[in-house]
């Protein structure tokens, strides 16, 4: 007689991916010791990249990577939501639509023809949506890719059932604390003044500009933006394009659906 598999009472956690590069999953795999700390608290029951098992009951926590870009994905995320007590969107593709949102700058039909050629009718495609444009999201981990310490923090909050507030101050606030020389003083354009903090100014600490991957703060300093654009003689259209790289799908707001 086959031995019945013992099921622990740890929270059942599943990872799912939609349209994305899977770079945020890599961040999970690269967590090292902090991953071991978290793994001690949970049972990972589905994670396509690392295991083939499937779970047939409800999930305590579902962690979603990637944007929703076709009808099948919409149906799939709704089914996952229906089986999940808590749902976390992680990575800009999931939280904002991210780079996939650039598709929304073009006519869908044109894009489909460009990508799939004359067989484009066989390939379904919809305007890119962030996960919360289709289902309710309980927790957000922004970033492209996600910043590992924030991911661990959000996971711990989700497991304890307490809220996590995404910082709503600009990346500059962290950049200043890290004593970086402002890139504008070096003639480099940086989107830090208008982008949500929480990544510990990851890019500017390493000499790169901020490209807005965590989405815009709730009340971007529009006048300051105008001052900066005038002072540094920046091309307004070019600046808009830079913002749209991550923020096109949801434009300005990335707040949860009420
Ligand atoms: S957010 Fe960036 S790193 Fe993460 S899956 Fe999307 S494109 Fe890849
Ligand atoms: S380098 Fe960018 S993030 Fe840092 S202070 Fe300057 S504008 Fe802000
Ligand atoms: S510095 Fe800007 S682009 Fe870099 S991780 Fe932070 S929010 Fe994203």
For residue 227, the CA-to-ligand 1 centroid distance in Å is 32
Residue 224's pLDDT is 77
For residue 26, the CA-to-ligand 1 centroid distance in Å is 10
Provide the sign of the torsion angle of the four alpha carbons 224, 227, 233, 239, taken in this order: positive
Domain 12-160: CATH superfamily, name plus number: NADH:ubiquinone oxidoreductase-like, 20kDa subunit (3.40.50.700)
pTM exceeds 0.85: yes
Report residues whose beta carbon is within 6 angstroms of any ligand 3 atom: 143, 171, 195, 199, 201-204, 210-211, 213-214
Q: pLDDT tens across 42-85, in order?
A: 888 998 877 888 898 999 999 999 999 999 999 999 999 999 99
Report residues whose beta carbon is within 6 angstroms of any ligand 2 atom: 171-172, 175-176, 180, 182-184, 190, 192-193, 201, 204, 210
For residue 180, the CA-to-ligand 2 centroid distance in Å is 8
The DSSP code sequence of 48-113 is TTT------S-EEEEEEESBB-SHHHHHHHHHHHHTEEEEEEESHHHHT-GGGGGGGGS-HHHHHH
**Ligand 1 contacts CB of residue 144 (under 6 A):** yes
Ligand nearest to the CA of 145: 1
Q: pLDDT tens across 233-252, in order?
A: 888 788 888 888 998 887 64
> Quick check: 32 pLDDT over 80?
no
Choice from 27, 171, 173, 220 to test ligand 3 binding pocket (greatest atom count within 8 A of CB): 171
Half-sphere exposure at residue 144, Cβ-oriented, CA atoms within 13 angstroms: 23
| pLDDT-wise least confident of 41-45, 135-139, 146-150, 211-215 | 41-45
Ligand nearest to the CA of 243: 3
The DSSP code sequence of 159-201 is HHT---PPP-SBHHHHHHHTTPPPGGGGT----GGGBB--STT
Please give the DSSP secondary-structure letter assigned to residue 16.
Answer: E
For the chain, the structural domain boundaries read 12-160, 171-247
Report how far residue 197's alpha carbon sits from residue 215's, in angstroms, rounded to the nearest whole number: 9
């Amino acid at each position: 007689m086959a031995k019945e598999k013992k099921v622990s009472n740890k929270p059942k956690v599943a990872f799912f991916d939609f349209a994305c590069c899977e770079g945020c999953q890599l961040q999970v795999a690269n967590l090292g010791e902090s991953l071991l700390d978290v793994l001690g608290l949970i049972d990972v029951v589905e994670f396509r990249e690392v295991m083939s098992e499937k779970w047939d009951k409800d999930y305590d926590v579902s962690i979603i990577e990637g944007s929703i870009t076709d009808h099948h994905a919409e149906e799939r995320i709704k089914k996952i939501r229906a089986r999940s007590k808590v749902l976390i969107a992680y990575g800009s593709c999931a939280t904002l639509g991210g780079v996939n949102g650039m598709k929304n700058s073009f006519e869908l039909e044109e894009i489909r023809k460009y990508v799939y050629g004359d067989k484009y009718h066989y390939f379904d495609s919809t305007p890119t949506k962030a996960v919360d444009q289709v289902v309710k999201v309980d927790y957000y981990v922004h970033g492209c890719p996600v910043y590992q310490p924030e991911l661990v923090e959000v996971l711990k909050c989700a497991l304890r059932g307490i809220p996590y507030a995404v910082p709503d101050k600009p990346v500059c606030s962290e950049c200043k604390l890290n004593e970086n020389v402002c890139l504008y003083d070096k003639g480099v354009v940086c989107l830090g003044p208008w982008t949500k903090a929480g990544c510990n100014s990851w890019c500017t600490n390493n000499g790169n500009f901020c490209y807005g991957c965590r989405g815009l703060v709730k009340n971007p300093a529009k006048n300051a933006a105008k001052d900066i654009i005038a002072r540094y003689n920046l091309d307004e259209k070019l600046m808009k394009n830079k913002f749209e790289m991550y923020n096109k799908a949801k434009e300005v707001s990335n707040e949860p659906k009420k």
